[in-house]
């Protein structure tokens, strides 16, 4: 069985249901109440370095680096969402919350000791030339999370719909 997730004008998927945790719509997340922001969904993917959890945040736009206050606020928001998402997923796998029924057996079986994480921001309609400054700022802001979890530099990615399509995240 497969699932599509429609966010920010993009159709993510199709994904096997057992490999996708729609965090934003899960009973686990909704039960937390207001005040905790998270990414849209988590996706189990196989890569050259083994299995990894990709945390996906979708946006329909982003501020330019030249609008410093808005840009800094945007980067801080994305960083917080990714950090919260990693923590919530880990807490769910460790059964720290009573309602993890939305979490598939594949996610529950993740070996936290060896799983990789990749935090991915996908911005619909974003020009290729705008990706690098956003990527640099997000990598810098997420450095504490990446260092504390011993994630490599490739653990943070910023994509537009073209790049996301090329990596199999969205259907164009």
- In this prediction, residues 27-49 reach a mean pLDDT of 91
Angle subtended at Cα 13 by Cα 8 and Cα 17, rounded to the nearest 5 degrees = 120
Which parts of the chain fold into alpha helices (H)?
27-30, 68-93, 105-108, 128-141, 143-148, 161-166
Q: pLDDT tens for residues 81-135?
A: 999 999 999 999 999 998 888 899 999 999 999 899 999 999 998 888 889 999 9
- Does residue 6 register a pLDDT over 70? yes
| Residue 40 to residue 56: CA distance in whole angstroms | 6
Taking the CA of residue 86 as centre, how many other CA atoms within 13 Å lie in the half-sphere pointing to its CB? 23
pLDDT at 12: 97
Q: pLDDT tens for residues 50-72?
A: 789 999 999 998 887 667 788 89
pLDDT at 68: 72
Which structure tokens are listed for 89?
A: 């997923």
For β-strands 10-16 and 20-21, DSSP reports them as unpaired
- Does residue 166 register a pLDDT over 80? yes
Of 164, 172, 166, the closest CA to residue 40 belongs to: 164
pLDDT at 172: 67
Q: pLDDT tens for residues 136-164?
A: 999 999 999 999 999 987 899 999 999 99
């Amino acid at each position: 069985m497969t699932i599509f997730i429609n966010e920010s004008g993009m159709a993510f998927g199709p994904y096997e249901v057992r490999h996708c945790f729609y965090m934003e719509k899960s009973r686990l997340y909704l039960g937390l109440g207001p005040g905790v922001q998270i990414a849209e969904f988590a996706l189990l993917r196989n890569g050259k370095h083994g299995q990894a959890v990709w945390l996906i945040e979708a946006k329909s736009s982003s501020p330019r680096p030249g609008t410093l206050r808005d840009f800094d606020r945007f980067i801080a928001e994305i960083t917080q969402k990714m950090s919260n998402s990693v923590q919530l997923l880990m807490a769910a796998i460790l059964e720290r919350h009573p309602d993890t029924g939305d979490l598939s057996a594949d996610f529950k079986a993740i070996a936290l000791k060896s799983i990789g994480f990749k935090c991915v921001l996908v911005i619909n309609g974003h020009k290729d030339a705008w990706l690098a400054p956003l990527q640099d700022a997000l990598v810098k802001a997420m450095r504490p999370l990446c260092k504390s979890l011993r994630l490599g530099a490739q653990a943070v990615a910023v994509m537009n719909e073209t790049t996301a399509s090329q990596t199999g995240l969205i259907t164009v």
